[in-house]
């Protein structure tokens, strides 16, 4: 059975896909810790991130770097923190979160946001990626 993330990528479940290059994709999380919190996910359903082959691992982290720079340009933050937990969905995913303090990387702060706010965040991120010349940005 496909993971929750794969089902979102295929349009079987609602979600805001921000990036899809055929090897990995990025979506907004449904319970962000902070505005701009997104996930970078390989297409291949790999449970443990350290089981990704070296090429896929490098690709996922390259895309995470692109998305991190985009988040830094859009959201007030000191850094973009990254976490790999993987307990909530057994499909490797990197959390990217704009942060100003280490305490911002706390899942206890995660809250569902109004769909209108999530849609606006997704549109801002997609537009910034397009403006930077990235071709892997899907239409809303």
- 4-130 CATH fold: HIT family, subunit A (3.30.428)
**pLDDT tens column, 29-82:** 999 999 999 999 999 999 999 999 999 999 999 999 999 999 999 999 999 999
Residue that the structure tokens 């996922």 belong to = 60
Mean pLDDT taken over the chain: 96
Residue 30 gets which letter from DSSP?
Answer: S
How many alpha carbons fall within 13 Å on the CB side of residue 14? 5
**According to the model, what pLDDT value does residue 21 have?**
98
Give how far the C-alpha of residue 58 lies from the chain's centroid of Cα atoms, to the nearest Å: 16
The full 3-state SS of 89-132, as one line of letters, equals: CCCCCEEEEEECCHHHCCHHHCCCCCHHHHHHHHHHHHHHHHHC
Q: How many CB atoms lie within 10 A of CB 81?
A: 20
**pLDDT score of 9 more than 80:** yes
E strand or H helix at 19: strand 17-20
For the whole prediction, is pTM greater than 0.75? yes
């Amino acid at each position: 059975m496909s993971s929750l993330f794969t089902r979102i990528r295929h349009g079987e479940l609602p979600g805001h896909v921000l990036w899809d290059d055929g090897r990995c994709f990025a979506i907004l999380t449904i319970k962000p810790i902070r505005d701009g919190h997104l996930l970078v996910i390989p297409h291949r359903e790999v449970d443990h991130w350290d089981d990704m082959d070296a090429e896929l691992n490098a690709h996922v982290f390259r895309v995470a770097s692109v998305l991190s720079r985009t988040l830094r340009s859009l959201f007030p933050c000191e850094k973009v923190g990254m976490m790999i937990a993987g307990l909530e969905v057994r499909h490797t995913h990197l959390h990217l979160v704009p942060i100003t303090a280490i305490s911002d990387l706390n899942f206890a702060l995660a809250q569902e946001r109004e769909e209108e706010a999530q849609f606006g965040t997704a549109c801002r991120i997609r537009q910034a990626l397009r403006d930077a010349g990235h071709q892997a940005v899907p239409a809303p």
